[in-house]
Chain A
């Protein structure tokens, strides 16, 4: 398996624009997690899905953030409108089982909002 795939790897956009980040989890994994990493706050869980259903989105910072998982092999994280404080590295991770087993992380998307 190619591991967790994220695209794009880098995104630079202007404030107010819509940003869509994409993730393909490892085949067979039933949990998918979206994280955000910044120097100030470290790594934070935004939302996670089980069998394509959102389970906990309490980490989503504002209504400007939304996430979907239309099928077992694809998820998106959308920010609309984007703001400079959204600049961070966004990671997607997947696992078989919630936390009993290891989480496998993608390479991340580095988002810069100017």
Chain B
């Protein structure tokens, strides 16, 4: 089973709201990733967690706050977003660094 699940599937939020995206995998993978994908563009890496520790932050604004409570779960907390943050947010996982990444279906976020 190579399934990564993400909730919610769609999210609409105002610029003053606080919301969270959730990602879960039960494959025993120890690396997890957040990507942002704008329409007709490739995914862009935001964060990498390895063994539940943040190892890469690609200069992402502080209004995006990742959290890895355990090895199966990855959250992305959102606060005071801008309309230009509207995008598809993809979570991925890999058994470890250096191996293929498996992606979830994404959360389509609209900021109004």
Q: A and B bound?
A: no
Chain A residues with CB under 8 Å of chain B are none
Chain B residues with CB under 8 Å of chain A are none
